[in-house]
Structure 1
Amino acid sequence: MCCEGLIEKLPQLNTCCCCCKVETGSKVIAWLDAIVATLSIIVAILGIIGGGGGTGVIVAAVIMIIAMVAMLVMAVVLLLGLYREEKEKVECWLRVSCCLLFLLIASETVSVVSAAVSLGVESAISAVISALIVILYKFYEISVVKSHHYNMINGFGEGRV
């Protein structure tokens, strides 16, 4: 698959965020993804129910709901893989996340260009900073889970299978 090369090139981490184990970091990432997806679905549904916007807002909300349901499903897959120590589920999450990373980069690029064209330089700069933060976080997220997956496969650290 196209993502395997990228996954292999990501750094192997020994610790995560606040010097915690990559196993713990992977679980935190999975729970955060599940919470963010759930809250985003609720907000999008409330936005549709509230009405206030036109057809474009409704279409955007529906697209967001679809994307967040996919994110929630993948978060559950990752959680199951982590807590049951099923490396296949963790690997599935890695592959899907890596492929979705390319869509994220494309989406953020469109957002930056759109902001530059319609809103001006200040908005474009804000969009670039926001895009970089989101993309770098996603790379870090994948690196942490990849590191734990590596530990699971090789029997290192807390990841044992």
Structure 2
Amino acid sequence: MIATHWELHVLKNNTDQSLSLPLPSLPSTHKLFEAVRFGFKIFKMNPCCCISLQRGTTIFAWIDAVLSSLLLVLFTLGLIGGILYDPSLDTDSPDDVGLSSSQRIQLLITCVLYIAACICQILLALYLRRAAKNNNYRALLRWIIISTIVLLMGAITSGLHLRTALSLGTFLSATAGIAYKTYEIIVVSAFRHELTTSNNLNRDDDSEDCNLQTKEDKAGHVNSTSIDSNVDCV
């Protein structure tokens, strides 16, 4: 809801009274822009709905680990099938020539690359979970950098695949994967920003306490010195 009045609290005759003053009239487009800007600010502070950023980051880590494990099993089965493939068994149709040797090698190489990528994703997921559990904002920064590089490489690879295989399923799966990874990076970045801000506030509080303790020590030292001087004079 967009605010339309200023509410001021004034003290009159020892009683707290509120005054409601109308805001200047704004164009509807400007109000809509302010609403969108406010919503974006809230989303930037906590892009996770109804849960904390730490819990959201942990959930993303588990999702990455589970999905990567399933894909690892799938591509491992594909690799085993490619190794055990026998062209002589393709006799269902006289027009079926099966896989050529070059296609078989290409399939095996693709499976090996995807298996390596799945293992890396599992390790990254475990790394993210540990960083979220320990509130390690430096480890979160490393994860963000690596995941951003992986996201860019995946987007480029998906674009190259779309030029050669124009299928709706490929386009939708690539778009969903990129959107998911982008949202995950946004959540982890917000969590890291929250940790950094909290650490800076704690550091400022510690410095203020240290300065206050130093002033108290100096004051105590001055008082003890003056007392010793008075005793010597007596």
Measured against the shorter chain, the TM-score band is 0.7 to 0.9
Structure 2 gaps of 5+ residues are 1-42, 86-98, 204-234
Which one has the largest radius of gyration?
Answer: 2
Change (3 A) 1:128 1:39: closer
Give 2:140's aligned residue.
Answer: 90
The aligned runs of 1:1-161 (5 Å cut-off) are 12-16=44-48, 18-51=49-82, 52=85, 54-116=104-166, 123=167, 125-155=168-198
Which fold has the larger relative contact order, with Cα–Cα distance below 8 Å and residues 6 or more apart in sequence?
1
Q: CA deviation at 1:19?
A: 2.5
What percentage of aligned pairs have identical amino acids?
25
Per-residue deviation, residues 72-96 of structure 1 (Å, max 9, x unmatched): 1111111111111211111110010
Provide the C-alpha distance between the structure 1 equivalents of 2:180 and 2:145, rounded to a whole number of angstroms. 17
CA distance in 1, matches of 2:194, 2:117: 30
| Amino acid of the structure 1 residue aligned with 2:112 | V
TM-score, structure 1 as length reference: 0.78
* Greater displacement, 130-139 / 141-150: 130-139
CA RMSD of aligned residues (A): 2.2
**What TM-score, normalized by structure 2, do the two folds share?**
0.55
Aligned residue pairs: how many?
140
Aligned partner of 1:148: which letter?
F
Aligned mates of 1:13, 1:109 — CA distance in 2: 32
Q: CA deviation at 1:39?
A: 1.9
**Structure with the larger strand share:** 2
